[in-house]
Amino acid sequence: MMEPTNFAILGLGFVLGLKHAADADHIVAVTTFIGDEKRVLRACAIGLFWGFGHTLALSAAGLAVVGLKLPISGRLAARLEFAVAVMMVLLGARLLATMHSSWHRRHRPVDWRFGLRPLAVGLVHGAAGSAALTLLALSTISSPLDAVLYILLFGLGSIVGMAAVSLLIAVPFYMAQTHLAAALRPIQATAGILSCAVGVYLGVDAWSGV
């Protein structure tokens, strides 16, 4: 039977997942996709796709480390962080390159494949954060099963958190498109430049461990 303390820790995992979704690099990465979208609900779906990818990577890493006792080396963790940095620069460059043409396309058919890119970005973010999360889970929870549950609840929190964050991000883009078209491109450009800047910062920080 699970101890009350573990219930509290598992609940904390969900709350920390909510908070984790609001990390700067996560928000900026998702913003580069939302800045290319016209519809608020579609933008929220982007956040959900990111969250699913993030949780999938965390769950896989958690099962490998907790269940199979496979270690995640410091060098591997640094390389994953560097991969995130490169990805952030590419996402920013993509938004800057496409921000003019994408908003001038009047109609875009609904295509389930639009979620593949944020899903992939979530996978990379989840893989990069898996080392710290599994270490935290193992250091605070004695039961391997409870540790895996902690990771899953953390991932669920990140899904819910990013969906909410995506909604908050999408509203200004939608308002700019609808009521203040002149402000739209500067907002997009700011998001693209910020993504590149965050990527460079993360890359410099991770390079020493690569």
Residues 31, 36, 38, CA angle at the centre, nearest 5°? 110
Alpha helices in the chain (DSSP H): 4-20, 24-34, 40-62, 74-102, 116-140, 144-179, 181-207
Can you give the pLDDT at residue 5? Answer: 64
What is the distance between the alpha carbons of residues 139 and 128, in angstroms, rounded to a whole number? 19
Query: What are the 10-residue block averages of pLDDT along the chain, 210 residues in total?
Result: 67 90 93 83 92 93 80 84 96 86 51 83 91 74 82 92 93 79 81 95 88
Show me where the domains of the chain are located.
25-103+111-207
Does residue 149 sit in helix, strand or coil? helix
Can you give the pLDDT at residue 200? Answer: 97
Can you give the pLDDT at residue 119? Answer: 96
Can you give the pLDDT at residue 175? Answer: 82
At residue 132, φ and ψ (nearest 5 deg) are -65, -40
DSSP 114: G
Can you give the pLDDT at residue 4? Answer: 60
